[in-house]
Amino acid sequence: MQTANIYAEQGGGGPDLLLMLHGMGATGAVWSPMRETAGTRWAGRWLALDLPGHGRSGRQDSYAIGQFAATVARAALPHVDPAGRLVVLGHSLGGVIALALATGWFGVAPHRVFGAGIKAAWSDDELRRMDTLASQPAKKFSTEDEAWERYLKVSGLAGIADASAAAAARGVERDADGWHLAMDPRANAVGKPPLSELMALARCPVHLGRGRDDALVTTEQTRALDPDARDLGPHSHNVMIEAPETVWDWVAAFT
């Protein structure tokens, strides 16, 4: 399904909507393990997007957090039932976008927001490296296997999913010049997110969490933003793939 140049997959029924937002470099397919049990774990509809510049979604001129949030809100709004609740579950970059939506500035009013594995500390070197990646054209690969190997590494799926896994879908494309990642390299220019400011501006409850073995963010950093941040167990960055039922339990505890 294509809505406002945003690719999405959806399911379920009822007035409540769970909006699922993936992280940098991945696609909405990372929610596949959770969607397998959504019928019994979520009493409503779910909507999993490919973020702008990722997967099958269109590219845009700017990938600032506000631009990401505005595009996501426009894509989600037709699916929001005023009689139901909108719950947003975001991972990593998707979690930052979820926090932006929590401000109510983008035309949707979430009932509750969850952010898992949000990177909270950025060094100058990391930001420069991201800017460099954003300025370079997409790397071409001579074989599909090489492209998938790179995609699994970039998306953090290496070691927990392979190219044939449902969670890896739409990560690689082919054009006349060869294989390449579906992600627009310019999306790397998203910059350092203003997490403390977004948390302060939230108009709904916000819950943060992380896998205990997530190398991108510490529990201390997460709890500096949310003192009640959830330890999601002995899992790494992509906890929704490694332990989907743990994430469902987290969401269910508040919804």
CB contact at 8 A, 27 and 170: yes
CB within 8 A of 6, min separation 6: which ones?
49, 50, 52, 57, 58, 71, 72, 74, 75
220 occurs within a structural domain: yes
pLDDT at 137: 92
Q: What is the pTM of this model?
A: 0.96
Q: What are phi and psi of 32, to 5 degrees?
A: -55, -45
On whether residue 219 sits in a domain, the answer given is: yes
The reply to whether 177 falls in a domain is no
In a domain, 174, yes or no: no
Q: Per-residue pLDDT for 4 more than 90? A: no
Q: What is the mean pLDDT of residues 189-197?
A: 95
Is 18 exposed, middle or buried (CB count within 10 Å of its CB: 0-12, 13-18, 19+)?
Answer: buried
State the CATH number of the domain containing residue 14: 3.40.50.1820
Query: What is the number of domains present in the chain?
Result: 1
C-beta of residue 50 within 8 angstroms of C-beta of residue 57: yes
Residue 240 within any structural domain of the chain: yes
Cβ neighbors of 9 (< 8 A, separation 6 or more) are: 1, 28, 35, 47, 48
- For residue range 205-222, list pLDDT tens digits in order: 999 999 999 999 999 999
- Write down the pLDDT at residue 176: 86
